[in-house]
Chain A
């Protein structure tokens, strides 16, 4: 029952400049890039082309296939649905598109929202594909993210598969006794399963805490690897956000 390894691997093994950059440099770069993108003035469209081109260049340097990035963009779908609602529900002057009456400001807002969202998602996809999860955690720790949050994320990463396996076993146990969720009336059964899963996770948390105390845990996860970045690496990492900041700044000046 412990099959299904590697289904949740986001990391794509390559030997590129981007893969080799220290994790905290990449985290800062992605954050700065996203901040630059969301600060774009409303009236301008061309900066988005610059951002997209810059991001595409990073993806190309990282040797990530476009299909992989497109496939992973599925996570954006709920967000897209929300963005598509905007032109329908927003007020103000309407325009006719294929016979539908849509709000002009809503349309514009949806377009901007989609562009910004997509750029953020793709930047995260590239980060996740070029940085191992534990390096991301290390980077966050180096960037002085609060210990409690780093530890929560560390355990989330470690126990994701354990919890998924447990969920799978519970589903198999339900279905082995003839249960299949077919309509809303079956919701209570699923709710009970969710409750049982919660209690199991809670109890596991207690046992893990015992195991940690038994090995001298005092409230901090020890930093086991010293990773430092030299100025050259920071400079390389700065290229993407620098392009974005430049585009945003020029858009503001030109607007």
Chain B
């Protein structure tokens, strides 16, 4: 018996109502337990792709399936449980008055109540090392802590796949490393949209490059980062002084 891939995107094309076409036929398969980075320059269509994964944007051509379930209107509630999106600005993601209520928001929308809900919240906060902050208001946390709580808010929904939009942005090096440790410890499929190439190399054995609304490269992160021609062709640049060959290939 074969397990359905966590994510199966086929021929996805999408134009915004103003006529701007962002995706021109994206094909992407992410197997269960994979950690995949989506790299690409600004305006490549990365955010548009992310918003298709849980059915916020629909109506173009092509299909998206999450663990075998097609993203269509009738399945939206279950799709949104299965796809946990962590948005770039944690202040957008944490909208409830306290950390506990925010983490509980998702599972409560799934109809979970009482002790089971408490258990979900406690478990998700423990996974990101934020258990003792449950009763704090989000605006009293540091930026790195808010990012971790944002991850917990989707973990509490026990998703099939965790989708992170620029997870390392605005983090200081220590918070960045802490978040990496947390993400590496999660036994879950991860799709990470990022400009942070060293972070992609550290966390994701596989990467795809999205440019001009199509996937133009798909392979091991290490090989992609070492392929100067492909990198330059898609406006991807390594930070000054960073040589992927000097780093051991990531585990996983």
Mutual binders A and B: yes
Which A residues fall within an 8 A CB radius of B?
Answer: 2, 5-6, 133-134, 137, 154-155, 157-159, 161-162, 204, 207-208, 210-218, 221-222, 224
Residues of A within 8 A of B89 (CB): 207
Chain B: residues with Cβ within 8 Å of the partner, total of 36
Q: How far is the CA of A214 from the CA of B94 in the complex (A)?
A: 12
Extra A-B contacts (9), CB below 8 Å, given A158-B95, A211-B87, A214-B87:
A2-B143, A158-B138, A158-B139, A159-B95, A207-B87, A216-B110, A216-B157, A218-B109, A222-B104
Distance of B105 from chain A, by nearest CB (Å): 6
Partner of B85, one of A158, A214, A217, A224: A214
14 contacts between A and B (CB under 8 A): A6-B140, A133-B97, A134-B97, A137-B97, A157-B97, A158-B138, A162-B91, A208-B95, A211-B87, A213-B56, A214-B85, A216-B81, A216-B106, A221-B96
Task: Return A168 CB to nearest CB of chain B, in Å.
Answer: 14
B91 close to A204 (CB less than 8 A): yes
Q: Which of B137-158 contact A (CB under 8 A)?
A: 137-140, 142-143, 153-154, 157
Cα distance A193–B54 in the bound complex, in angstroms: 35
Interface SS of A by simple majority:
helix
Which residues of chain B are within 8 angstroms of A218 by Cβ–Cβ distance? 77, 109
What is the minimal beta-carbon distance from A203 to any residue of chain B, in angstroms? 10
Q: Tell which of A155, A204, A214, A221 has the most Cβ of chain B within 10 Å.
A: A214
Tell me the interface secondary structure of chain B in the complex.
helix
Q: Contact check, B97 vs A158: say whether CB atoms are below 8 A apart.
A: yes
Contact B108 A224 (CB under 8 A): yes
Contacts of B95 in A (CB 8 A): 154-155, 158-159, 208, 211-212
> Is B77 a contact of A214 with CB atoms below 8 Å?
no
Q: Are B51 and A5 in contact (CB under 8 A)?
A: no
Contact A211 B92 (CB under 8 A): yes
Closest to B81 in A: A216
On whether the beta carbons of B91 and A215 are closer than 8 Å, the reply is no
> With an 8 A cutoff between CB atoms, is B123 at the interface?
no
A133, A155, A207, A215 interface centre (most CB from chain B within 10 Å): A215
Q: Quick one: closest A residue to B91, CB to CB? A: A162
Q: A154 to B110, alpha carbons, bound, how many Å?
A: 21
